[in-house]
A and B are shown apart, each in its own frame.
Chain A
Amino acid sequence: MTIRTIMMVVMTLILIYVVWDTAKYLGLIGNKTASKKAVRDIRKEQSVIKNRARVIKTVVFLTWVDENYGFKVNTYTREDLSTRIKRLNIKVKSLNRHAKVTELLGVFKTLSFLGFLATSLIFFTVGGLFTLAPIPFIFTRQLFVWLSDYTLYAEDIEMEQEFGEFYFTLHSKLMSDSPNRLAPFIKDFIDAHNSMYHKRDNAIMYRFAIDFITLLELYQDDTLALKELRKKYTSVTFINFSNIAIQRLQGIDNRDKLLSYAIELQRKTNEKIEVKASKAIFKGTIAIYAIFFLVIKYVIFAIYLKAEVMLSFT
């Protein structure tokens, strides 16, 4: 491709732009933005209404499946699933609420049924290893529990490392002679976090603080809110905190325990720094292995050149 061709292409592009811009200026094209926007908004609203109706139908169907088919699930499992739904923030977006346990169980039962059906069909038609493919669908509930355990465990670890910052905002209040009414301190924590420019850090503690303040506003009692919060968060650090804090809120003088808890949290923060350093060094070492890619590439290239020379001799 010569320079002349490139110049021709560039000139053509400029010409097209000039024609398009002039047509736009003269009002020949793109002059109906407002009406288009109105039409778009109406269509969007209609699609939202349709989607909502569809979701309601699905939800009703799933509840019906759970109530009428399969084995009945005991209360303990239902409570466990309810906690998981809240912690994993599983929402029905169109209805703007958390999913219900019956709906989730409806999904599991439907998938199990479909999985069983597919397994039987494949077994009697194709057979062989293909039969194994839909088997995981039969155990959807178990899979969900297993996967959510993994996620929740990772979240708990993160919470244990980040809990120190939250705790030290309450420490002075809990150490004082009147440790009740934690809400203003948690509100300050949330406000300070909300106005931050760099919001990404400490997200788990932010969510935790929001949950805490919601429960405090609901029950108007610090002890009750902490007890309710324990149902949702299973991190060991938080459980320890809630035990000590409940004691303190009930008037027991356990300030020495609070102090040793603070020291423990500081130790965890230090550990976190060490872990971060080790991870960075490990990743850096791995990144260096990229050079092997270049070495292999040029060795293959050299072999190719040699082979070409040898072939030309023969």
Chain B
Amino acid sequence: MFTIVKIIGVALAFAVIVLYNRKLVKFVAKSGTGVENLIGRTLGRQLKRLDDYLERQTTLANNNVYGKISSYYNYILVNLELKKDRITVPTFIVFICILTTGLTIGVLVFTANILLSLASFFLFFYLITVTFNFLALLRYEKREGMIMDVEDLLSMGIGRGVKNAITVYTPSIHPLIRPYFEDFLDDINHHGKTFNASMDTLNHNLGDGFSHFSRLAKQYEAKAEKGSENMFSPIIETNQRKRDVRQRVNKRFSELKTNFMLAAACVFGFVFFLVYTDERGRELILHNTWGNISLLTDVMLIAFVQGVITTLKAKFLQ
């Protein structure tokens, strides 16, 4: 009897869906758009406000916590060239949060353990940030080399003025950073921006490595006296030395990294051995919340050390 009622119920529901199909679809679509708009509006407004707030805090004093967070993520965005796609720091952080929340929900569903999920939230957030930072640092090293090449080129041809030197040497600049120099020329030639404002934008896009040159360029343009192009000559020699030192340091750091990864592999091999040979060990490490959290902390520590080594290697010249 109950089965018959069920079948009739399902049939009726099917009939209603078929009959009111178009209305239903319209309703769902409308409500979907409405909800999307509402979320977009609210979240967009909040993100814009947060973006403005961070920008203001960073401009006022870049030594406070907001300034540090903002410059950390801004650095990642600059080096991964995400600025071109108009991605701001808050949107990037929200993106990482959403990704982390998704992964944490996965862990929560899989393990049904709230403490472990909380720990895994921090771990995922940290790991994702570190991964992005790692990618950014790898790019940074390459960009640093490109920027040094540009500085050398421009310093040699600075006698005719910074803008002219950029115009002449733009085709010789590496394609990855060439668009920024084209934008610089475009800003001056077509958008009516001043030299200093355009140079600031160029420096903002190229990051810290270009700061010294940009400062000298502004000084030179302000008072281009006879012989003042001499102030650029130390740049060539310094860059030469930097390349030399960078090569040596890279070699040393690759050795350090190999040693570290081998040591970490040995530790995890030992943990693997413990888990598969000892029942009590398996229970304590795999089937215990604190054991799981301890394992997560170990992964976090290894990621941290890896991050520290990569940061030291990439940024020691700053």
Question: Contact between B196 and A195 (Cβ–Cβ < 8 Å)?
Answer: yes
A159 to B248, CA, bound (A): 27
B15 in contact (CB, < 8 A): no
Q: Which residue of B lies closest to A293 (CB)?
A: B301
Listed stretches B94-102, B161-169, B230-238; interface member: B230-238
Listed stretches A22-30, A109-117, A226-234, A267-275; interface member: A267-275
- The residues of B that contact A274 with a CB separation of less than 8 Å are 245
In the complex, which of the residues A165, A195, A284, A297 has the most CB atoms of chain B within 10 Å of its own CB atom?
Answer: A284
In the complex, which of the residues A2, A280, A288 has the most CB atoms of chain B within 10 Å of its own CB atom?
Answer: A280
Q: Which residue of A lies closest to B268 (CB)?
A: A294
Question: Contact between B212 and A308 (Cβ–Cβ < 8 Å)?
Answer: no
Q: Which of B14-40 contact A (CB under 8 A)?
A: none
Q: Which of A280-305 contact B (CB under 8 A)?
A: 280-281, 283-285, 287-288, 290-291, 293-295, 297-298, 301-302, 305
Residue-by-residue, is B278-296 near A (CB-CB < 8 Å gives 1, otherwise 0)?
Answer: 1011001000000000100
Q: Which residue of A lies closest to B248 (CB)?
A: A277
Q: Which of B151-179 contact A (CB under 8 A)?
A: none
Question: Contact between A298 and B231 (Cβ–Cβ < 8 Å)?
Answer: no
Report which of B108, B216, B225, B313 forms a contact with A176, defined as CB distance below 8 A.
B225
A274 to B317, CA, bound (A): 9
Question: Contact between B212 and A165 (Cβ–Cβ < 8 Å)?
Answer: yes
Q: Which of A167-197 contact B (CB under 8 A)?
A: 168-169, 171-173, 175-176, 184-185, 188-189, 191-193, 195-197
A176 to B112, CA, bound (A): 77
Report which of B218, B228, B264, B304 forms a contact with A192, defined as CB distance below 8 A.
B218
Report which of B113, B114, B219 forms a contact with A189, defined as CB distance below 8 A.
B219
B12 in contact (CB, < 8 A): no
- The residues of B that contact A294 with a CB separation of less than 8 Å are 264, 267, 298, 301-302
A200 to B318, CA, bound (A): 11
Q: Which of B226-270 contact A (CB under 8 A)?
A: 226-231, 234, 237-238, 241-242, 245, 248-249, 252-253, 256, 259-260, 263-264, 267, 270
A276 in contact (CB, < 8 A): yes
- The residues of A that contact B88 with a CB separation of less than 8 Å are none
A274 to B223, CA, bound (A): 33
Question: Contact between B309 and A287 (Cβ–Cβ < 8 Å)?
Answer: yes
Listed stretches B123-131, B138-146, B180-188, B200-208; interface member: B200-208
A308 to B281, CA, bound (A): 11
Q: Which residue of B lies closest to A280 (CB)?
A: B316
Question: Contact between A279 and B227 (Cβ–Cβ < 8 Å)?
Answer: no
- The residues of B that contact A309 with a CB separation of less than 8 Å are 280
Question: Contact between B212 and A277 (Cβ–Cβ < 8 Å)?
Answer: no
Question: Contact between A188 and B237 (Cβ–Cβ < 8 Å)?
Answer: no
B4 in contact (CB, < 8 A): no
A242 in contact (CB, < 8 A): no
B105 to chain A minimum Cβ distance, whole angstroms, is 11
Question: Contact between A291 and B280 (Cβ–Cβ < 8 Å)?
Answer: no
B91 in contact (CB, < 8 A): no
- The residues of B that contact A173 with a CB separation of less than 8 Å are 225, 228
B312 in contact (CB, < 8 A): yes
Question: Contact between B245 and A277 (Cβ–Cβ < 8 Å)?
Answer: yes
Question: Contact between B241 and A196 (Cβ–Cβ < 8 Å)?
Answer: no
B211 in contact (CB, < 8 A): yes
Report which of A185, A269, A277, A298 forms a contact with B234, defined as CB distance below 8 A.
A269
Q: Which residue of B lies closest to A164 (CB)?
A: B234
Report which of A175, A291, A295 forms a contact with B305, defined as CB distance below 8 A.
A291
- Chain A's interface size range is 35 or more
Q: Which residue of B lies closest to A298 (CB)?
A: B270
- The residues of A that contact B226 with a CB separation of less than 8 Å are 172, 176
Question: Contact between A192 and B267 (Cβ–Cβ < 8 Å)?
Answer: no
A279 to B316, CA, bound (A): 8
Q: Which residue of B lies closest to A281 (CB)?
A: B252
A198 in contact (CB, < 8 A): yes
Provided the pairs A1-B114, A172-B227, A284-B313 are in contact, do residues A266 and B208 lie with their beta carbons within 8 angstroms? no
A73 in contact (CB, < 8 A): no
Q: Which residue of B lies closest to A271 (CB)?
A: B241
- The residues of A that contact B281 with a CB separation of less than 8 Å are 301-302, 305
B142 to chain A minimum Cβ distance, whole angstroms, is 18
Question: Contact between B305 and A290 (Cβ–Cβ < 8 Å)?
Answer: yes
A65 to chain B minimum Cβ distance, whole angstroms, is 35
- The residues of A that contact B13 with a CB separation of less than 8 Å are none
Report which of B204, B218, B242 forms a contact with A197, defined as CB distance below 8 A.
B204
Q: Which residue of B lies closest to A165 (CB)?
A: B212
Provided the pairs A188-B219, A270-B238 are in contact, do residues A199 and B267 lie with their beta carbons within 8 angstroms? no
Question: Contact between B241 and A273 (Cβ–Cβ < 8 Å)?
Answer: yes
B214 in contact (CB, < 8 A): yes
A193 to B203, CA, bound (A): 12
A266 to B238, CA, bound (A): 8
List 27 A-B pairs, Cβ < 8 Å: A168-B230, A172-B226, A172-B227, A172-B228, A176-B226, A185-B223, A188-B222, A189-B215, A191-B218, A196-B203, A196-B211, A200-B63, A201-B208, A201-B211, A266-B234, A280-B249, A281-B249, A284-B308, A284-B309, A287-B309, A290-B301, A290-B304, A294-B264, A298-B267, A298-B274, A302-B274, A308-B280
Binding site for A on B (CB under 8 A): 62-63, 108, 112-114, 196, 200, 203-204, 207-208, 211-212, 214-216, 218-219, 222-223, 225-231, 234, 237-238, 241-242, 245, 248-249, 252-253, 256, 259-260, 263-264, 267, 270-271, 274, 278, 280-281, 284, 294, 298, 301-302, 304-305, 308-309, 312-313, 316-318
- Pick the 7 closest A-B CB pairs, nearest first: A280-B316, A172-B228, A192-B218, A172-B227, A168-B231, A192-B215, A291-B263
